[in-house]
Copies of this chain bind each other. A is one copy, B any other.
Amino acid sequence: MAEIVELADGVAEVVRDGDEVAMEGFTHLIPFAAGHEVIRQHRRDLTLVRMTPDLIYDQVIGAGCAARLVFSWGGNPGVGSLHRFRDAVQHGWPRPLEIEEHSHAGMANRYAAGASGLPFAVLRGYRGTDLPAQTDTIKPITCPFTGEELTAVPALNPDVAIVHAQRADRAGNVQMWGITGIQKEAVLSASRSLVTVEEVVDELTPLPGAVVLPTWVVTAVAVARGGAAPSYAQGYYDRDNSAYQEWDAISRERDSFSAWLDGVRKVVA
C-alpha cells in the first residue's frame, strides 16, 4: 500500500545514488516538482530513463545528477534543442553523459515488456536505420512461425518510476486522465514508485478516460500542487508555453543555467 508522504521525504525514500530512474509524462503531467527535488537532494550517477527527456531531464542533466540517459527523443517540444543535454553529450559538461538511444516505439514496448514481467519485446522497427549499430539493446529476432525477421528490445525495469497525476485518495489509489502516455507502464515496470499529485481527495469519482493505479502497486504518494508545471495537469492548469520558450534562453549558456540552478536549490520543497 502506498504511503502518503511529503515530497522531499518521498524522493529521499525512493531515489538513491546510482539508481535507474524513469520520470514519465508525455507532454502532459510531467513530474517537474519531483525532478527539482532530485536536484535539491544532489543525487548522483543516476541512469535517467524517459522517452522524451524534455526540460525536466535537461535540468537534471545540467545539475550533474546523471551518468547515463536512456531515451528516444531529446528536444524542447515546439521550441528546439535541449542545450544542457547537448552540452553534456557534445562537451561532457558538467560531466560526460553516456547515452542509450531508441525510438519511441522501442521505448514504449520496453516499458510494456517490463510491466508484463517479460525479458524482451518484439516490434517492427529499427531495420535499415543506423541505430542498431550504436545501441546494443537492439537485436534481430526471427518469428518461429513465419521465419520473418523482426526486432527485439529488452524490457525496462527501472529501480524507480516517478510520475505526476491529478489526484489520489487517502488510501493512496492514484487517478489520472487526459493524455496518460506511458505512465502506467513506467510505474508497473519499476521496483519502486513515487506519484506526485495535485490533491488528495476522499473519493476518486470515475471519469471518462481515467487511469487508476491501485495503491498496492505504488510505493509513495506526495502532494505537489502545480507539480507538473510548466507542463500541464488537465482539469487543474494549462501548459505554460512561454516557460518552454524562456528555457531556451536560460539553458543556452552555462552561466544562465547555473544561476537558475542556484534558484532551484534555494527553494525548500
Residues of A138-181 contacting chain B, CB below 8 A: 139-141, 143-146, 148, 150, 152, 154
A118 partner, pick from B120, B144, B150, beta carbons under 8 A: B150
Please tell me if A122 contacts chain B, counting CB pairs below 8 Å: yes
A208 contact set on B, CB distance < 8 A:
206-208, 210
Q: Find out whether the CB atom of B144 lies under 8 angstroms from the CB atom of A141.
A: yes
A123 contact set on B, CB distance < 8 A:
118
Interface centre among A117, A139, A145, A150 (most CB of B within 10 A): A145
Identical subunits present: 2
Size bin of chain A's contact surface: 20 to 34
Residues of A10-56 contacting chain B, CB below 8 A: none
Could you tell me the distance between the alpha carbons of A119 and B147 in the complex, rounded to whole angstroms? 9
Taking the closest CB of chain B, its distance from the CB of A101, in whole angstroms, is 17
Please tell me if A134 contacts chain B, counting CB pairs below 8 Å: no
Please tell me if A191 contacts chain B, counting CB pairs below 8 Å: no
Taking the closest CB of chain B, its distance from the CB of A192, in whole angstroms, is 22
Could you tell me the distance between the alpha carbons of A228 and B146 in the complex, rounded to whole angstroms? 37
Q: Find out whether the CB atom of A122 lies under 8 angstroms from the CB atom of B124.
A: no
Closest B residue to A116 by beta carbon equals B123
A152 contact set on B, CB distance < 8 A:
143-145
Please tell me if A209 contacts chain B, counting CB pairs below 8 Å: yes
Interface centre among A122, A139, A154, A206 (most CB of B within 10 A): A122
7 contacts between A and B (CB under 8 A): A118-B123, A118-B124, A120-B122, A120-B144, A139-B145, A141-B141, A206-B208
